[in-house]
Amino acid sequence: MRQSLVITGALRKLSPTALVACATAAGVQAIDAETEFDDDMLALMRQQGLALGPMRIRASLADSDPATRAQAVESACAQLDQAKGWGLHTVWMLPRNFRNDTSQRENWSAVRETMPAVARHAERQGIRIAIENCPFDGQNVVCTPESWDALFALIPSGAVGICMDPSHNIWQGIDYLRATREYAAHIYHVHAKDTEILTEGSYRYGVEGPLIEAPKQRHGWWRHRLPGLGTVDWNAFVTLLTDLDYAGDISIEHEDPLWEGSEARVQAGITNARTHLAQFIPA
């Protein structure tokens, strides 16, 4: 398992040179590719011995507007072509409704319309699509065993699978170890992010989260943390991935509010996360 790095909000504030320096200092081996990477960024990464990890694709494939959905399919296919040109065999995405103006059932109907065409294009290009199990405030419906089963029944080719992020399983109440075992054949990518349950917030707001107040923590009763600082058992999770012969990347996704604020703090947080994960990854 190679450790990679997802470019999240805290990292997007860095210049390309600072980003590459941060990744190198933290000790990761790759950075998940982004469509906006240019030749200068790729050259910087090569100079530091950093590989391209699976590419993130952004497309509003569950959009409420039919014309926008059609454009999203074209965009997703073009991004797949870009990934192919970079020699990548895996991409990850969320088939979201960026507007977030319809029900989840309506979003699923839109995904049923758009994903087969994108999957067919991926199959022609020899690329696997890993869908992250993040609900994204209702924008992405493909995030649970129920929806995975429906997706794989819709697209049985194997072109589409899962980007497993145990942090999302935690707050959804889904057993991440069981899900990893049962869907092992469909796991094409892994995100390393943790979730901390805030006991007082859980009591005050319940799983629905705050309805009236605006607490400091956006979700009220949970928050994302870096690996090792939440409730995920990384020893059990990584060991299970190893036992299941998972050979893809495990990409650190920094969304920890306690390790932001400065470049040094961001880098320290990522370094700590990489070190924590490295304990469990066989050499």
pLDDT tens for residues 89-99? Answer: 999 999 999 99
Whole-model pTM: value is 0.96
Place 283 in a pLDDT band, splitting at 50, 70 and 90. Answer: confident
HEC sequence for 120-153:
HHHHHHCCEEEEECCCCCCCCCCCCHHHHHHHHH
The mean pLDDT value of the chain amounts to 96
pLDDT value of position 150? 97
Place 10 in a pLDDT band, splitting at 50, 70 and 90. Answer: confident
Sheet hosting strand 249-253, strand order edge to edge: 2-6, 249-253, 187-192, 160-164, 128-132, 90-93, 55-57
What integer is the mean pLDDT of 250-262? 96
End-to-end alpha-carbon separation of the chain, Å?
9
Please tell me the distance from the alpha carbon of residue 31 to that of residue 7, in angstroms, as a whole number.
8
Place 271 in a pLDDT band, splitting at 50, 70 and 90. Answer: very high
CATH of 2-196+225-278, one of 3.30.360.10, 3.20.20.150, 3.20.20.70, 3.10.20.30: 3.20.20.150
pLDDT value of position 76? 98
Indicate whether 205 pLDDT > 90: yes
Q: Which residue has the tokens 């060991």?
A: 239
pLDDT value of position 218? 86
Indicate whether 259 pLDDT > 90: yes
3-state SS assignment for residue 30: strand
The partner residues of 192 in beta bridges, in order of sequence, read 252
Query: Which amino acid type is present at position 268?
Result: A
Please answer whether residues 169 and 128 qualify as being in contact, where contact means their C-beta atoms are separated by less than 8 angstroms: no
